[in-house]
């Protein structure tokens, strides 16, 4: 299959998928932040007008995960303490969760899907901190959304998506390769395509597109490599599998690019569950 055929297939898989658009609040916030003359008051007004997004944002800001020493009880304080990029990324993350919160799928456990996604997000941020990445919270969002393409695959071609998972589990064939063989496109391609429709920042879109093959990621290769390792950690967590054998499949390119070692990743497990418990509020559907 040629690259163009893969692109066409990704377009086809997204053609009639439900919930391709994000909530209006994200579009309004994005427009405000793209205005060179925006003010903090403009950001506060946009976010405050969406009660669900406000509740999720404040829950995250007060979760302890961001290490803030003071309680945040309103959006203005959140914007002031976290900064506009941080608020943008958190609103983006919660907007995606909100868009897909009502999705049902007979062959996919949505609670399990989001739990795995949060594990990937937490692991990605922790690894980014170890790598001294300044925007570690943006890497968190990249990790959270890295698997988003599977939501579309399981809507459009659920049985083929399941078969690809079986090939991966039973034969050790990389999942993205199994999906390309059976479906004609992989989840990373489809997820990146959806992100382009949403006009997301390239710093988040790139790692999603290339985390399955970081060596071809160009400028995105570094963060894609971090997300790649985080996805391995999340996969082991999700399947209750031993992490060491899965890390053995990580390419030399990824290890060399990040400077991480297997020991670094294994050390992450010691407090991964603790950190996960602080972020699982993302999955609650009562806000």
| Predicted pLDDT at 286 | 45
Backbone phi, psi, residue 60, to 5°: -65, -45
| Predicted pLDDT at 177 | 95
Q: How far apart are CA 116 and CA 183, in angstroms?
A: 23
| Predicted pLDDT at 185 | 92
What is the H or E stretch that residue 15 is in?
helix 3-15
User: Dihedral angle at the C-alpha atoms of 71, 66, 31, 47, nearest 10 degrees?
Assistant: -30
What is the H or E stretch that residue 258 is in?
helix 252-258
Angle between helices 75-82 and 84-100 (to 10 degrees): 120
Per-residue pLDDT in tens (0 to 9) along the chain, 287 residues: 555 555 567 777 776 554 457 888 888 999 999 999 999 999 999 999 888 788 877 877 777 666 666 788 888 988 888 888 888 888 888 788 777 766 666 777 888 888 899 899 999 999 999 999 988 888 999 999 999 999 889 888 989 999 999 999 899 899 999 999 999 999 999 999 988 888 888 989 999 999 999 999 999 999 999 999 999 999 999 999 999 999 999 999 999 999 999 999 999 887 787 777 667 655 554 43
Domains of the chain: residue spans and CATH: 1-18+105-287 (1.10.3210.10), 22-102 (no CATH)
| Predicted pLDDT at 210 | 97
| Predicted pLDDT at 278 | 66
Burial label for 106, CB within 10 Å (0-12, 13-18, 19+), is: exposed
Q: Is 285 within 8 Å of 99 (Cβ atoms)?
A: no
Q: How far apart are CA 194 and CA 199, in angstroms?
A: 9
| Distances from the Cα of 186 to the Cα of 22, 35, 161, 263, angstroms | 22, 35, 9, 30
What is this structure's pTM? 0.87
| Token couple for 86 | 């941080």
Query: How many C-beta atoms lie closer than 10 Å to residue 30's C-beta?
Result: 19
| Predicted pLDDT at 102 | 64
| Token couple for 32 | 């405000």
- Tell me which residue of 147, 153, 126, 148 sits closest to 137, measured CA to CA: 126
> Is 109 in a helix, a strand, or coil?
coil
Q: How far apart are CA 151 and CA 174, in angstroms?
A: 19
Alpha-carbon Rg for the chain in angstroms: 18
Q: How far apart are CA 174 and CA 159, in angstroms?
A: 18
| Token couple for 225 | 């490599």
Q: How far apart are CA 115 and CA 284, in angstroms?
A: 11
End-to-end CA distance of the chain: 44
């Amino acid at each position: 299959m040629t690259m163009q055929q893969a692109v066409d297939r990704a377009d086809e898989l997204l053609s009639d998928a439900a919930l391709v658009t994000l909530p209006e609040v994200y579009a309004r916030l994005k427009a405000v932040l793209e205005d060179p003359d925006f003010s903090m008051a403009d950001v506060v007004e946009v976010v405050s007008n969406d009660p669900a997004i406000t509740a999720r944002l404040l829950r995250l800001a007060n979760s302890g995960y961001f290490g803030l020493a003071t309680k945040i009880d309103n959006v203005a304080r959140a914007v002031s303490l976290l900064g506009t990029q941080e608020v943008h990324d958190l609103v983006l993350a919660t907007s995606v969760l909100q868009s897909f919160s009502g999705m049902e799928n007979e062959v996919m456990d949505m609670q399990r899907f989001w739990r795995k996604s949060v594990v990937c997000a937490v692991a990605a941020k922790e690894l980014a901190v170890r790598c001294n990445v300044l925007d570690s919270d943006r890497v968190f969002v990249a990790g959270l959304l890295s698997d988003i393409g599977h939501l579309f695959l399981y809507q459009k071609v659920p049985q083929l998506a399941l078969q690809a998972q079986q090939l991966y589990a039973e034969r050790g064939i990389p999942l993205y390769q199994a999906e390309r063989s059976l479906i004609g496109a992989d989840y990373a391609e489809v997820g990146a395509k959806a992100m382009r429709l949403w006009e997301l920042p390239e710093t988040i879109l790139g790692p999603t597109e290339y985390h399955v093959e970081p060596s071809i990621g160009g400028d995105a290769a570094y963060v894609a490599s971090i997300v790649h390792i985080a996805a391995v950690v999340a996969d082991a967590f999700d399947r209750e599998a031993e992490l060491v054998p899965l890390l053995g499949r990580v390419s030399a390119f990824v290890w060399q690019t990040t400077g991480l070692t297997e020991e670094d990743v294994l050390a992450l497990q010691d407090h991964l569950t603790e950190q996960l418990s602080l972020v699982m509020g993302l999955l609650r559907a009562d806000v």
